[in-house]
Amino acid sequence: MNAWLLVRALEILCALSLVIQCIEYLKSQRHTQAKGIWSWSVQRADIPLTNPRILQFLDFIFLDDTHEKHLWLRLVVAISMLFMGSNLWIALFLFLSSLLLLIRWRGAFNGGSDFMTLVVLTGLLIAHVVALIAGPEIAWSACLWYTAIHAISSYFMSGWVKLLNKQWRNGQALSIFLDSGLYGPLSTQSAFRRPPIAQVCSWSFIIWEVLSPLALVNQEWAFIYCLIAGIFHFLVFVFFGLNRFFWAWAAGFPAIVFAAGWRW
């Protein structure tokens, strides 16, 4: 597949993910303002910083009014990338903006989706910086490979951890997770409480994740793997309401397809 088409797909999917995230942040404003349960004055105590100038800067950035303007600006920049693509300044702003939001939320607002968003934005930043030195072809190859390696290794490590965990191997972990979902706890008659079914589902996840490096064998395998991954993340959204995961990880799929089509 054409590499530039994959680059554009990555930009569009990343932009969509960022737009959704910004809307969620803006809708959560009443909970993050001075009188909210996640106010900066409360979360500030968990930030391991002692430099007074940095703290003064963060106190200013995370003022209710300033923070809201930052989110609106982030939304506008994300929309511009959606329709016009990225450049060095867009990539740099979104990267630094993401770092600020990670600080605001003491490391992560939504776990793995924040991690993958930062991975893709780092890849975009790498592309635009390297392009100034080595040209666009090498730069975008570096971006896509960086993103693909992180995505594949994350799937692999997730499967490896499950493989080492007895509760995942015997299926118990699946019902525990589903009990905490949007429709949990599961009923006593749920099929997922039956050991054979729970084990089959658990081992399906484990095998699929552990075999993730095989997605790089060729682009056909990569397409199939990304399709299964998309279905998996959609099911996570349905059962747990984690829509961020679907879009954040989908942004990495074009990179996986590119890496699978690489010929040395």
The pLDDT of residue 250 is 95
Residue range 48-61: mean pLDDT, rounded: 85
pLDDT of 184 > 70? The answer is no
pLDDT at 73 over 50: yes
CA distance 193 to 172: 8
Q: How confident is the model at residue 245 (pLDDT cuts 50, 70, 90)?
A: confident
Domains of the chain: total: 1
The model's pLDDT over 130-174, given as tens digits with 9 standing for 90+, comes to 999 998 999 999 999 999 999 999 999 999 999 999 999 998 888
pTM to 2 decimals? 0.90
Mean pLDDT of the chain: 89
Q: Indicate the length of the chain as a whole number.
A: 264
Best CA proximity match to 119, nearest among 251, 260, 256: 251
Taking Cα atoms as reference points, which of 6, 219, 263, 262 lies closest to residue 127?
A: 6
In contact, 178 and 184? CB cutoff 8 Å? yes
Q: Which burial class, exposed, middle or buried, applies to 250 when counting CB atoms under 10 A from its CB (0-12, 13-18, 19+)?
A: buried
Write down the pLDDT at residue 37: 80
Type of residue at 168: W
Domain of residue 239, residue span: 3-260
